[in-house]
Structure 1
Amino acid sequence: MTTAATTATATLPLGDLHASLADPLLDAMTFLNEVTERYPDALSFAPGRPHEGFFEPEDVHTYLDTYLAHLAERGLSRSAVRTALFQYGPTKGIVADLVARTLANDEGIHADPEALVLTVGAQEGMLLVLRALCATPEDVLLVSSPCYVGVTGAARLLDLATVPVPEGPAGGPDPAAVRAAARAVRAAGRRPRALYVVPDFANPSGTSMPVGARAGLLEVAADEDLLVIEDNPYGFFTREPGGRPTLKALDGDRARVVHLGSFAKTCFPGARLGYVVADQRVLAPDGRTTLLADELAKLKSMTTVNTPALSQAVIGGMLLRHACRLRAANAPARAHYAANLAVLLRELERHFPAAERDRLGVSWNEPEGGFFAVLQVPFTADEAAMERCARDHGVLWTPMAPFYPAGGGERRLRLSISALDEDRIAAGVARLADFVRAAAS
């Protein structure tokens, strides 16, 4: 005979689960996805995904065939190719040599393939790096503010403390502010372990660090014994041809920078392929030395085991098809996103003339590239406002407040131009302008 006690469905109090699950930060993206599903006809400035017009399904087969031909040219037998594609494979990945060649061609980053770990997107790379570097509760991660929620969310999952460093007027974290934050953390009896930064067209603000500030940041990192975690998904997408040097390229032999990369924007996000360049030396108590990449691979072996070989093969084939030069291959995408950003800025100017901007308290930044711009508005730009905008005006955007680790950004919203075409951007700005006026009144 069964009793109520034995047949009742188990209920887990949220308070008994990890505290991060009650953090509103983890709900932000879920809410955005739900609103998007409820208003499928709304024009959306919310997603930061690439434009789908650059993808063709048949290309996947072409890239895979290219990589298989590459393996044959290297002299691998059919049995060895079968093993490479169908088995688990090495934890650090199977296309590190091609990625290293591409980094040298595109970014001037000269890394030994052994210093790379291929990851399941850049997000896994963040988790691995944070877990490896932050060893005690006293270790603190400095983050630029506003900051990509992926890294603050990862820190929350790992119970790591974060300290925000506000973006400077020129873009990115000001080196003097980084120094002050590191010293304040140290004065409080904790260790400032690393700084996370997106130096080019950051998500969410769209800002970029000037070259002088990049050099200054590396000097501060050396003085304060900080590592810099550089995330670089948008660097190719400048409004004008050319780009600024990455922190990793400027770092030279100092090995202060751990570089995170992703093929989500430069190839396609569905492959879920990222990488970490971790060439720092690690000294064991017995005097042995390894690379930080080797230590990250140990952590990876206990999480995702390895990165799918098929994803690596497809991206590897794509790199080979473009002679390991993705910057040149992405020239059409760069021009597309630059044109989209120009349309956004032009339409904001048209719908909010100077006199009206001053009266309403509306303003926006003018990024030099990337996917994002930020609009300052005269009302609280929260989830409720976003849903009203979707329901009544047929346009979506992203609230900025979740991107501020210590609070702020309540009257700011992020606009992404990557997934739309020019006509839809123009139509979306017109709808958004109507909503801003209605909300302001």
Structure 2
Amino acid sequence: MTPQTLPSSRALALDELHGSLSDPVLDAMNFLNEVVGRFPQAISFAPGRPTEGDFEPEDLARHLHTYTSHLEETLGWSRDRVRTQLFQYGRTGGIIHELIARTVANDEGIEVPPEAVVVTTGCQEAMLLILRALFAAPEDTLLVSSPCYVGITGVARLLGIRVRAVPEGPAGPDPEAVSAAVRAAREAGERPRAFYVVPDFANPSGTSMSLPDRERLLRVAQEEDLLVLEDDPYGFFVRTGSARPTLKALDAGRRVVHLGSFAKTALPGARVGYVIADQEVIGPGGRRSLLADELSKIKSMTTVNTSAVSQAVIGGLLIESGCRLREANAGAIAYYRTNMDTLLGELERHFPAERRAELGISWNRPDGGFFTVVTVPFAADHKALELSARTYGVLWTPMSDFHLDGGGTHQLRLSCSAQSPEAIIEGMARLAAFITAQSPGTAA
């Protein structure tokens, strides 16, 4: 049969595929990627990608050599054992778990056994593993700080997990609001299992929790028998003040599952993340294990194991830093501080107090991280983004994409991480022209 005579295949009906494929969250991310691709000359404040800094291709070979030298010279491994470590599948829970445990102890004061660390293919897999493990029944509910990073809500949608939003305030989630959400969920016949939060410089809002709120959240978790899923990609990048302790560092009751990634602090292309899950699990007959052991079982059916080569590259980088990534990130910390200062300064320059009051414009001033949120007097939707890209040559992200409750319709997220200060200045001039033109009472 020739290609011309092949019978046409039956088209698949979207409503016969998984419902998540029609979810606005997935559509929003695809739309944003598509817009970025169509307007490559636009200055983009849309993606939260890290700076490439001083990365050079030859660094990868050096990191790899550092790791293999560590195995041979420090640990006394034979050449054959090193070869197997790099060329074969390897331990499901990861091969650099000991280095990660040492690093989080040095950087964050998180003291856990290496066996509590599962190395994942990016933090996104860590989210998938922990949600699949914890949410077993239809009534199980995930609480999320809203607005919320779409990666966690997207995974919940793929797994068919119920999500309940906890509205975020100017200083992040209010622990009392978390407690109220737990009670409301139970009154609705749900079983709240965990609360997802980015306590430092959150994506997308840029907010950070105070130390008293962190301590109170842990007390709420204890009182309500709730786990806290702490996602901490931005904690190093302080702009003002000093770094606050992670929830996991404060966690005396093993209530916190800590999700980490080397995407922002080391090398995004390696796609290496991790989850710290030191909670005890009791099985039939009293068998005891760590939650990390159970997550490894799930991982064996997703990615089997995280790339040994990628882990070796990250492992070498950790060894070179003395397992102290915070110190190794001093240059990046200063870079992001300068970028955020520049972005906020340009907003102030283009919209001084009298002008922003006249137009109805405001923004928050994060203590660090990558993101700030601007409130505008018009609908900051996908149509507005398209106009901004085509006519003004500047990209941003609609905040409505991050809300579960229909909020954020007049807000846009700006990321300052991937641009130089010079590009930020030019981009903010374009953005100011766009915002001014769209604001009621100004000429279009």
TM range (shorter): over 0.9
RMSD: 1.4
Aligned partner of 2:132: which letter? R
Between the aligned partners of 1:38 and 1:191, the Cα distance in structure 2 is 44
**Tell me, what secondary structure is at the counterpart of 1:265?**
coil
1:57 matched residue in structure 2: 57
* Cross-structure match for 2:324: 325
Structure 1 stretches of 4+ with a deviation exceeding 6 A read none
Letter in 1 for 2:331: P
Aligned to 2:421: 422
Distance 2:18 2:62 in 1: 44
1:341-393 Cα shifts (integer Å, max 9, x gaps): 00011100010011111111100000000000000011111111011001111
SS at match of 2:286: coil
- Matched with 2:91 is 90
What is residue 437 of structure 2 aligned with on the other side?
438
- Identical-pair percentage: 64
Name the counterpart of 1:157.
Answer: 158
Structure 2 spans left out of the alignment, 5+ residues: none
Question: Which letter maps to 1:36?
Answer: V
Give the match for residue 8 of structure 2.
8
Cα offset, 1:168, TM superposition: 2.4
Please list every run of 5 or more consecutive structure 1 residues that lacks an aligned counterpart in the other structure: none
Q: 2:399 and 2:172 mapped to 1: Cα distance?
A: 16
* Counterpart mapping for 1:146-185 below 5 A: 146-169=147-170, 171-185=171-185
Check conservation: 2:241, 2:367, Cα contact below 8 A: no
When normalised by structure 2's length, the TM-score is 0.97
Give the structure 2 partner of residue 278 of structure 1: 277
Structure 2 Cα separation of the partners of residues 62 and 80 of structure 1: 20
CA contact (8 A) 2:47 2:415 kept: yes
Write the deviation string for residues 319-356 of structure 1: whole angstroms up to 9, x where unpaired: 00010000000011000000100001110001001111
What is the SS of the residue equivalent to 1:150?
A: helix
In 2: Cα distance, 1:83 partner to 1:122 partner: 26
Structure 1 position 126 matched with structure 2 position 133 = no
Aligned match of 2:215: 215
SS of the aligned residue for 2:430 comes to helix
Q: Deviations over 1:273-303 (max 9, x none)?
A: 0000000000112110110000000000011
Paired position in structure 2 for 1:339: 338
- Residue matched to 2:306: 307
1:30 — aligned with what? 30
Alignment partners' CA distance in 2, 1:203 and 1:172: 11
Between the aligned partners of 1:10 and 1:75, the Cα distance in structure 2 is: 59
Q: CA deviation at 1:10?
A: 2.9
Q: SS where residue 54 of structure 1 aligns?
A: coil
Structure 1 residue 256 displacement after superposition? 0.1
Q: Is the 8 A contact 2:53 2:332 kept in 1?
A: no
SS of residue paired to 1:218: helix
Q: How far apart are residue 178 of structure 1 and its match?
A: 0.3
Deviations 1:19-50 (A, max 9, x none): 00011110112111111111111110011011
After alignment, is 61-70 or 232-241 more displaced?
A: 232-241
Alignment of 1:190-209 (within 5 A): 190-209=190-209
* Of 265-274 and 52-61, the range deviating more from structure 2: 52-61
- Aligned with 1:228: secondary structure? strand
User: What is residue 364 of structure 1 aligned with on the other side?
Assistant: 363
User: 1:233 offset after TM fit, Å?
Assistant: 0.2
SS in 2 for 1:53: coil
SS in 1 for 2:173: coil
SS in 2 for 1:384: helix
Counterpart of 1:138? 139
User: Residues 69-84 of structure 1: matches in 2 within 5 Å?
Assistant: 69-73=69-73, 74-84=75-85
SS of alignment partner, residue 419 of structure 1: coil
User: Partner residue of 2:408?
Assistant: 409
Matched residue count: 439
Partners of 1:47 and 1:268 in 2: how far apart? 16
Equivalents in 2 of 1:287, 1:78: separation in Å? Answer: 41
